[in-house]
Amino acid sequence: MPHASRFDITHTTSYQYEENIHSCVMSLCMQPRNHRHQTVSSFLINTSPVTSFSVEFDAFGNRHHYFDIHHPHDKLDITVSATIEHEVQKELSDGFALPQAAWSELESLKNDWDMWEYLRFTDLTTVSESLTNWLSTFQTTQDDDPYSRLKALTQHMFESFDYQPGTTHVDSTIDHFLDIKAGVCQDYAHLMIAVARSWGIPARYVSGYLYDSDENNLRAANATHAWIECWLPQLGWMPFDPTNSKVDDENLITVAIGRDYQDVAPSRGITFGGGRSELSVDVNVKRGLVESNPPLSGHRNMQQ
């Protein structure tokens, strides 16, 4: 029987401005979604200065909170609190493989409107000469099935690049990542998405969190994180985390999905006045077991 875990998340984003700003308009994409085996039990946003929110859903089903503040302030704090219940599933066996016919089924998805967004390339997930040259170092055979090839690619990427925060930024290209052989989780995700799409496998960008008990020394743990999901016959949308060489890890907590980072940026905004600003982010993720395992309910105590 699957068992359930509970994750308690606190995510604080602070903007310190050099001088008072006159006003700001902000968009947040920080609310975890009911997704695969996870259910959002509670969610709350607090800001200082205090404000009210409007809510909209985007084309991918992500919830966005919008707010504005129209009085002088030199600091903005945004604190998100959420509780997630996650039903842990039985892992696939090490030798699991899809039949070769899976490639033909994937080929047929080229005419599937629902998959079109996840098969086309974007500015951040494009195939270049540098990517093609790098991919030539990855050994594949005609006998590879889609799942096994993606799993091997996850490990290959983990071994090929160094995880080094500060070496790239939000609009860094795949070519830059390939050139310096270092980056952060979003760089790993963009590269793997580009490769998967070049193989005809629908792939999408996932933003969220990664819990680690400190025993596994995972990269980007207890912080904002990014990985990808690929659609595969028999399996549906399957998570792959090339930053940590993990497949369908039970410690991944999904916030939003999109074509690339630009669809799911946690916060965007416009400020008027204030000069330069300094951004700080603090994330805390705690895990506990759910004592009993009744059917998981929908949103409770939800502030929108």
Convert the pLDDT of each residue in 245-256 to its tens digit: 999 888 999 999
Which pLDDT value is given to residue 51?
Answer: 95
Query: What's the mean pLDDT in 285-289?
Result: 86
Query: What's the mean pLDDT in 160-184?
Result: 95
Question: Considering Cα of 221, then 168, then 75, then 253, what sign does the dihedral take?
Answer: negative
Which one-letter amino acid corresponds to residue 16?
Q
Would you say the CATH fold of 92-249 matches that of 3-87+265-289? Answer: no
Average pLDDT, the chain: 90
Q: Are strands 182-183 and 162-163 parallel, antiparallel or unpaired?
A: parallel
Query: What's the mean pLDDT in 111-134?
Result: 95
Give per-residue pLDDT as tens, 209-249.
999 876 666 776 667 999 999 999 999 999 999 999 999 88
Task: Tell me yes or no: is domain 92-249 CATH 3.10.620.30.
Answer: yes
Give per-residue pLDDT as tens, 39-61.
999 999 999 999 999 999 999 99
Which pLDDT value is given to residue 61?
Answer: 96
- pLDDT class for 139, splitting at 50, 70, 90? confident
H or E stretch covering 129: helix 129-135
Question: Between these two residues, 250 and 25, which has the higher pLDDT value?
Answer: 25
Domain positions in the chain are 3-87+265-289, 92-249
Q: Collapsing DSSP states into helix, strand and coil, what is residue 289?
A: strand
Which pLDDT value is given to residue 2?
Answer: 58
pLDDT at 299 over 50: no
Residue of 98, 101, 143, 127 lying closest to 193 (CA atoms):
127
Query: What's the mean pLDDT in 69-95?
Result: 91
Which one-letter amino acid corresponds to residue 208?
G
Q: What b/e readout covers 268-302, taking b as 16+ CB neighbours within 10 angstroms?
A: eeebeebeebeeeeebebebeeeeeeeebeeeeee
Entry pTM: 0.91
Q: Which CATH class is domain 3-87+265-289?
A: mainly beta
Which pLDDT value is given to residue 294?
Answer: 45
* Residue carrying structure tokens 């590879």: 144
